Amino acid sequence: MNDDDLPAVLPTLLPRLWRFALRLTQNQHDAEDLVQRACVRALERRAQLQPGTSTLSWLFSIAHSTWMNELRARSIRNRGSMDWQDEEIESFADPAAHNPEIDLLHRQVINAVEALPDAQRVVMVLVAIEGLSYREAADVLDVPIGTVMSRLSRARLTIGQQFSVQSSPAARKGESI
């Protein structure tokens, strides 16, 4: 793909970029702003897209660095915490299924991923949800591949421990039959 193809390809990548931005920012308004800024930046700098580079990974990298810059700016402005809480924005449950147990399990998994530290959550989203390879995730985040593997391992361990505690016999003793 050359840089002239980017305007034609960009609309097809927006759903995945939006999902990534939403998981990264954990806020609908911030995600909307981030997607817009990332797209503008990508179009302005499309000549920097190297041949053979995944356009999606390149966009994720732009979105990630844009978000990190925003967080630094907020910190400087002493606005480290968000002033509002958005209601649940999206559910990964199949809307046609309407299975409350599956919906609950999906919500628990989403909550577990969202509760991870930022560095682990971003790696989990890139690898487990977006399907990037470890190398691609390392390139997006501009970290060594070992760091990606370590963060992903810790994230999986943390989530696994949460679910093993929830389903252990000791945890179920408090449940009434």
Residues 147-175, mean pLDDT to the nearest whole number: 76
- What are the sequence ranges of the domains in the chain? 1-82, 97-170
pLDDT for position 134: 93
Q: Look at the domain 1-82 and name its fold.
A: Rna Polymerase Sigma Factor; Chain: A (1.10.1740)
Residues 153-160, mean pLDDT to the nearest whole number: 90
Q: Is the pLDDT of residue 172 over 70?
A: no
DSSP string, 30-54: HHHHHHHHHHHHHHHTGGG--TTS-
pLDDT for position 82: 46
User: What is the distance between the alpha carbons of residues 173 and 177, in angstroms, rounded to a whole number?
Assistant: 10
CATH annotation of 97-170: 1.10.10.10
pLDDT digits 0-9 by tens, 47-86 = 888 888 889 999 999 999 999 988 888 777 654 444 444 5
